[in-house]
Amino acid sequence: MDRNVTEEFCNNVEAEIVKHQQEFKRSYNDICNTTVIIKRIDPLTGEEYEDHEELVENDANRMVAYYRQAVNKFAGASDIVKSYINRNMKNESESYDKAVARISAVAACFEIMHGLEVWAENKTHDLLDVYGPSRYAVSEENKIRWDRIEGNSLPYVNSKLNINASVTRQNQDYDCYPKHIICDDNGWAYLKLNDLEKKIVWTELSHSITVAWYRNQSRNLNASLSIPYMIGGEWENMYPDFIFFQKTGNGEIVRTIVDPHGDWLGDSVAKLKGYVKYLRDYPKMFGSVLAVADEKNGECRYLDLMTPKVQDAIDKFTGSSAKDLFLGSLSRTYKICPDAK
């Protein structure tokens, strides 16, 4: 059975790669390479006379780190990961390094991992249906493993957001902001934000409990938070705009989301429902999640997505426009800081 499951796993990996070729290619390139800034300085004057970026191949230590992350993503199943590597080396004549990079890129690609999670959950249920009646014959030691498998068929979600900046150069033509977790030596981050985003950032920074924040990146392997949502029968990813880190009275650092949310967009309702499903599945991931609608009639409105009443209303909502939710009785005024720039 182990051999059949491993073979089926490998086949599904390849099928997901074909299905998500562009996403896999981007992930593979990020795994194999790092962008570095090259500076040349005149030894006599100390002046820089060349400053450019180059793509360099990642060294062995970084590849080992990516491999360990991949094993962790597959819940520590190093045996099945090694089987995939060995199969590719044998069938595809890949070198060991390329095979490791391939499975590491698979683990780092959200779209592929989601497909594999669906397969794994269905496969687990199929196997439990077949072997469940014989559970009484399992040894006491293996019953513990059985119970763990039986209760662990939900998709894997990483509770840690690891953020790495391979390129630290910033465009100083943009506005500068304090307390961003990626910043220059003076503590400033230069970011291009629209008017509503600027107001939200300065409003949240005006709160004394806000100690840091992050402008979430779309589809960035090293530094992005994505939340799945269903639209048109297909799973897509959304990337909340801002993550803030706030210090509570007991000294705990809590993650919060404030997401400017255009209520006129066609996918707004689907995204709100995606938020609700995610927050119900993982209620301890964030302390607060606010979806903020654009400024209308001189004010912004928000939905507190951690509130059960709001979650229920969104879950039962059958309309096509989120405007009804943002203008309804469950929404509240998002008060912009008077000093917001």
171-191 pLDDT, tens digit per residue, is: 888 999 999 998 888 899 999
Does the pLDDT at position 223 exceed 70? no
- 154 band by pLDDT with thresholds 50, 70 and 90: very low
Q: Two tokens at 277?
A: 């499903």
Do the beta carbons of residue 127 and residue 145 sit within 8 Å?
A: no
Which of the pair, 127 or 246, is modelled with greater confidence? Answer: 246
- 267 band by pLDDT with thresholds 50, 70 and 90: confident
**pLDDT, tens digit, for every residue of 282-334?**
888 899 999 998 866 678 889 999 999 999 999 999 988 888 898 889 999 99
Do the beta carbons of residue 225 and residue 161 sit within 8 Å?
A: yes
Average pLDDT over every residue of 232-257: 89
79 phi-psi bin (left φ>0, alpha ψ -120 to 50, beta other): alpha
- CA separation for the pair 262, 271 (Å, rounded): 11
H or E element, residue 54: strand 48-57
Q: Which residue has the tokens 């999640």?
A: 289
**What is the pLDDT, as a whole number, of residue 214?**
93
* Torsion angles phi and psi, residue 117, rounded to 5: -65, -40
Locate all alpha helices (DSSP H) within 132-216, ordered by sequence.
140-150, 195-205
The residues, any chain, with a CB within 8 Å of residue 269's CB and separated by 6 or more, are 314, 317, 319, 320, 321, 322, 325
Q: Two tokens at 213?
A: 């924040």
**What is the pLDDT, as a whole number, of residue 67?**
86
3-state secondary structure of 111: helix
154 phi-psi bin (left φ>0, alpha ψ -120 to 50, beta other): beta
DSSP secondary structure string for all residues of 245-301: EEE-TTS-EEEEEEEE--TTSTTHHHHHHHHHHHHHH-TTS-SEEEEEPPPBTTBEE
Does the pLDDT at position 266 exceed 80? no
User: DSSP E strands: which ranges in 79-216?
Assistant: 175-178, 188-191, 210-215
Average pLDDT over every residue of 36-42: 71
Does the pLDDT at position 124 exceed 60? yes
H helix and E strand count, the chain: 11, 12
Beta strand 210-215 pairing with 242-247: antiparallel
- 275 band by pLDDT with thresholds 50, 70 and 90: very high
- Amino acid 183 reads C
Q: Which residue has the tokens 């600027």?
A: 198
| Residue 113, burial from CB neighbour count under 10 angstroms (0-12, 13-18, 19+) | buried
Does the pLDDT at position 153 exceed 50? no
Q: What is the pTM of this model?
A: 0.61
Of 243, 238, 232, the residue nearest 277 (C-alpha): 238
Does the pLDDT at position 231 exceed 60? yes
Provide, rounded to the nearest whole percent, the portion of the chain with pLDDT above 90. 31
Does the pLDDT at position 43 exceed 80? no
